[in-house]
Amino acid sequence: MFEALNERLTGVFDRITGRGALSEKDVAEAMREVRVALLEADVALPVVKDFIAFATERATGEEVIRSVKPADQVVKIVYDGLIEMLGGEEPVGINLNATPPAVILMAGLQGSGKTTTSAKLALRLTKFDRKKVMMASLDTRRPAAMEQLETLGKQIEVTTLPIVKGESAVQITKRALQSAKLQGFDVLILDTAGRITLDEALMAEVAEVAAVAKPVETLLVADSLTGQDAVRTARAFHERLPLTGLVLTRADGDGRGGAMLSMRAVTGLPIKYLGAGEKVDALDVFDARRVAGRILGQGDIVALVEKASQELDASKAEAMARKLAKGQFDLNDLAAQLQQMKKMGGLQGIMGMLPGVAKMKAQMAEANVDDRMIARQEAIISSMTKAERKKPDLLNASRKKRIAAGAGVEVQEINRLLKQHRQMADMVKSLSRGGPKKMQQMAAMLGG
Ligand code: GDP
């Protein structure tokens, strides 16, 4: 997501950076280009207008034009403006302040990802917040939807309310409330019925359920790939239902990003989570700073480091840090790093979080670097003996030939891998003089 927008904005900023001093005219022209970029990303027009007015006013101020690096100031103003547009710096957490069970009502159109998101949220609350969570499906018209939630519940080991045929949505709601209360659940997630399109019957039913369940959170799940349709849907739901927040799904898709950028300003509702994949753990707390950073190509280093440390077992990371501190990095370490890359969603997953992605992606495509290459590199390393992995210098021509045959690759590829390893080992060596903190960061990135 945001790839095209990122590319355009990077272009705008590159041009003004090259110019040194900025005139009011330069700023105005840059803002015109930012405006076009946002409109092309499918951001709602009124949102774009407000943004440009705000940014232009600040960017043409004396202190910007006369500052040492005016272009940097303009980037910062756009960054701040994006954060504002997305709802401010601090992530808005979920509210569970209620006499248990705290009810979370999930609303949205069919296919928006509502059921999947219910399960993702249940998993998150169970795993990170140590809550006892129950889920219940209120989709009386689609038995398959109920079974889907039940299956997901089994998969993530979260209780679902037993299915009883023939009950109405309100009856199920009452049974779920009672059951969750009696069994001491902290949270009850209600997955309401969806329809292909907005209709009165759907709205009336969700409103009735809400009146009975008195949710502390009513979250609208919307598909970010549907662009302005998602924004319209959110507005329509909000008119009938006091929503407390939004979840945008398919943030992992290659949408233009307009829905995400317009949602907050148009509906006034905070975006609380982003769905970032089909798997049950692919739900991210929405953080405007990260999104703004990604749009401007500052990348998402925070997310990358966090993700790495989440996946890492602390003792392994420490062992790795100790080795790195001594300036050591052998082929076993490289293999561990390849493993880590795979865990983090492969190259595609990692690249989305790195700065200057658009440029790098093109370069990598040219160099034919992809996830299959990671697999081949792993095959090469696993075809080596223990001694070879520890001391790559042992690898003479005949050993390389043997390994190439074992891994089913050309000798050339082994040479490429060795070169890559040498560069990394050199980097590790030079970094090992950078102190323990640097090394820990490095260890988290490389994986243990
Ligand atoms: P519902 O009809 O609104 O309950 O939608 P589902 O939860 O059944 O989701 C519909 C499809 O979208 C399923 O195949 C999900 O795996 C998929 N899906 C849901 N959320 C995401 C997401 O954040 N990213 C991606 N890529 N797929 C998603």
Segment 132-178, tens digit of pLDDT: 999 999 999 888 999 999 999 999 999 999 999 899 999 999 999 99
Q: What is the mean pLDDT of residues 291-295?
A: 86
Quickly name the fold that domain 3-86 has.
Four Helix Bundle (Hemerythrin (Met), subunit A) (1.20.120)
Helix (H/G/I), strand (E/B), else coil: 135:
strand
Burial of 184 (0-12, 13-18, 19+ CB in 10 A): exposed
Q: CA 21 to CA 70: how far, in whole Å?
A: 7
120 lines ligand 1 (CB under 6 A): no
255 lines ligand 1 (CB under 6 A): no
Secondary structure of 205-240 in HEC code, one letter for each residue: HHHHHHHHHCCCEEEEEEEHHHCHHHHHHHHHHHHH
* Nearest of 285, 308, 301 to residue 356 by alpha carbon: 301
pLDDT digits (tens, 9 = 90+) for 356-406: 555 555 655 655 566 778 888 888 998 999 899 988 889 999 999 999 999
Q: Determine which of 132-141, 186-195, 338-347, 373-382 has the lowest per-residue pLDDT on average.
A: 338-347
H and E: helices and strands count for the chain: 22, 8
Residue 252 CA to ligand 1 centre (angstroms): 11
Q: Whose CA is nearest to atom 11 of ligand 1?
A: 113
User: From the alpha carbon of 276, which atom of ligand 1 is closest?
Assistant: 23
* H-run or E-run covering 189: strand 187-191
Residue 69 CA to ligand 1 centre (angstroms): 45
pLDDT surpassing 90 at residue 196: no
* Nearest of 225, 272, 254, 259 to residue 111 by alpha carbon: 225
273 bridge partner residues: 247, 285
276 lines ligand 1 (CB under 6 A): yes
Tell the CATH superfamily of the 102-286 domain: P-loop containing nucleotide triphosphate hydrolases (3.40.50.300)
Name the residue with higher pLDDT: 75 or 49: 49
User: From the alpha carbon of 191, which atom of ligand 1 is closest?
Assistant: 4
275 lines ligand 1 (CB under 6 A): yes
Which of 142, 271, 278 gets mutated to test ligand 1 (max ligand atoms within 8 A of its CB)?
278
ipTM: 0.98
Binding site, residues?
Answer: 108-115, 191-195, 249-252
User: From the alpha carbon of 274, which atom of ligand 1 is closest?
Assistant: 23
281 lines ligand 1 (CB under 6 A): no
278 lines ligand 1 (CB under 6 A): yes
Find out whether 275 and 248 touch, Cβ atoms under 8 Å.
Answer: yes
Helix (H/G/I), strand (E/B), else coil: 434:
coil
Q: What are the extents of the domains in the chain? A: 3-86, 102-286, 301-446
Cα 95 to Cα 59, 102, 103, 187, 215: the distances in Å are: 37, 9, 10, 11, 10
The fraction of the chain above a pLDDT of 90, given in percent, is: 41
Q: List for the chain the helix, strand, coil content (%; round to 5).
A: 60, 10, 30
Q: Whose CA is nearest to atom 14 of ligand 1?
A: 278
Q: What is the mean pLDDT of residues 343-356?
A: 58
Binding site for GTP, residues?
Answer: 108-115, 191-195, 249-252
pTM over 0.80: no
Residue 222 CA to ligand 1 centre (angstroms): 10
111 lines ligand 1 (CB under 6 A): yes
Residue 168 CA to ligand 1 centre (angstroms): 25
Pair of tokens at residue 311:
């996946």
Just give the CATH number of 301-446: 1.10.260.30
pLDDT digits (tens, 9 = 90+) for 264-289: 988 999 999 999 999 999 999 999 98
252 lines ligand 1 (CB under 6 A): yes
Residue 120 CA to ligand 1 centre (angstroms): 11
Q: Whose CA is nearest to atom 27 of ligand 1?
A: 278
Q: CA 68 to CA 64: how far, in whole Å?
A: 8
Q: Whose CA is nearest to atom 6 of ligand 1?
A: 113
